[in-house]
Amino acid sequence: MRDDKVIAPALLDWYDRHARVLPWRVPPGGPPADPYRVWLSEVMLQQTTVAAVKAYFQRFTELWPTVQDLAAAPDAQVMAEWAGLGYYARARNLLACARQVAAEGGFPTTRTGLRALPGIGPYTSAAIAAIAHDAPETVVDGNVERVVARLFAVNTPLPRAKPGLTALAETLTPQERPGDYAQAMMDLGATICTPRNPACAICPLVDPCDARAEGIAAELPRKAPKQPKPTRQGTVWVARSGDAILFEERPTKGLLGGTLAFPSTSWDGRDLPPPGPADWQEIGQVRHVFTHFTLTLTVLLGDLTGNPQRGHLVRLDRIDRDALPGLMRKVWDVAQAEIAA
C-alpha cells in the first residue's frame, strides 16, 4: 500500500528547486505574498493562460499598485485595460470586489470570507487563503484535477469526477507550507504533468503515481464527450460620419457585457435595424468562436446620412483598437482595410 504522506514533501522539495518565476510570485519559503497581487493575478488567470496574463498584470499593477487605487478607477478605464483578456464579467466583478475590499479596509484572510466577494469562487478563495496567508486550504484547478486523477488513477470522466478529485486532493494537503504546496501542485501540472505528453521520467511523484504504474497517465483525466457548437449569424455596422465612427456600449449583462462595440444585430436570431440611415455596403465577414457557439458576422460599412438611432460617435484619431474585445478588433481590421483601400 502506498504511503500518501511522502507526496507533499517530495513535491515541496521539487518546488524549492523548480518553482516557476512569475511576476506575481514570491520565491519558495519567502515572505508572504501581497493579497492584492495574488487576488489580481488569480482572477486574471481564471480561464486564461499564464503567458497572456503577464502583460496585463504588469499594466494593472503599474496603473493601480494597491486595491484602493483600483477601487478608485473609472469603470470605462478598467474595461478598456481588460479588453482582449476575455470573459468580461471578470472585469466587472474585479472592480466590484476592489471597491468592497477597499470599503472594508482590506481583504478577508479566511477562505470563507474571501468566497463571499464578487468574482471569487471555490478555486480563487482557496488560492488566496493558501498563497497569501499560508492557510492549509486545498486549491483545485484544472492542473490539480489532472495531477490527482493520475496519482489515484481515477477513471471517472470529468466533470462528474470533480467532487471525488477534490476530496482526494484534500487528503494530500500538508499543514506545513500549504501555500507553497498549492503552487507546487499547479506548477507540476503546468510543466511536468501536462495534458498530452506528461514528462513522467522527470516527475518527482512518479513513484507514488498509480496511473503511471498502470500505463494510463496520458489518458487521464477522462472527459465526457462534448456537444458540437452551433453557428450563429449576425450583421455589424461600421457607421462613418465625417472623421468619426459610431460605437456603443454593450449591455452590462450577457455576451461581451459592458464592452465597447460596433452596433450590431443581437446574434440570437432577433433582427435589429441599422443604427442609422446610410448606403450600406457589405465589405466582408468575421468569424469568432465563443465557448458555446461560433459566430459569423457580416460587416457593413456606410456613411451616415442622418442622425444615428443609438450609440455615440468617436473620432478616428481617438479610436483605440486595444480597448476593443477580440471580436470587435476583427471587425475594425476589416473596416480599416476597406477604408484604406
Partner DNA sequence: TTCCAGGAAG
Partner DNA sequence: CTTCCTGGAA
* Partners of residue 298 on adjacent β-strands: 235, 285
Minimum CB distance to DNA, residue 304 (Å): 27
Sorted by sequence, the CB contacts under 8 Å of residue 156 that are 6+ apart come out as: 164, 222
| Part in contact with DNA (CB under 7 A); list of ranges 77-85, 165-173, 207-215, 275-283 | 77-85
Collapsing DSSP to helix, strand or coil, 184 comes out as helix
Residues 280-319 touching DNA, rule: CB under 7 A, are 287-292
Q: DSSP state, 279?
A: -
If the CB atoms of residues 108 and 119 are measured against DNA, the closer one turns out to be 119
Of 35, 108, 178, 189, the one binding DNA (CB under 7 A) is 189
Side-chain half-sphere CA neighbours of 125 within 13 A? 14
The overall longest dimension of the chain from CA atoms, in Å, is 79
Minimum CB distance to DNA, residue 93 (Å): 5
Known catalytic membership, residue 42: yes
Minimum CB distance to DNA, residue 279 (Å): 30
Of 325, 332, 334, 335, the one binding DNA (CB under 7 A) is 325
Residue 51 makes contact with DNA by CB under 7 A: yes
> Is 176 buried (19+), middle (13-18) or exposed (0-12) by CB count in 10 A?
exposed
Residue 141 makes contact with DNA by CB under 7 A: yes
Check the CA dihedral 102-105-110-115 and report its sign.
Answer: negative
Catalytic residue numbers, as ranges: 42
Q: Which residues would be at the binding site for DNA (CB under 7 A)?
A: 45-49, 51-52, 83-89, 93, 118-125, 141-143, 146, 159, 189-190, 195-197, 223, 226, 253-257, 287-292, 325-327
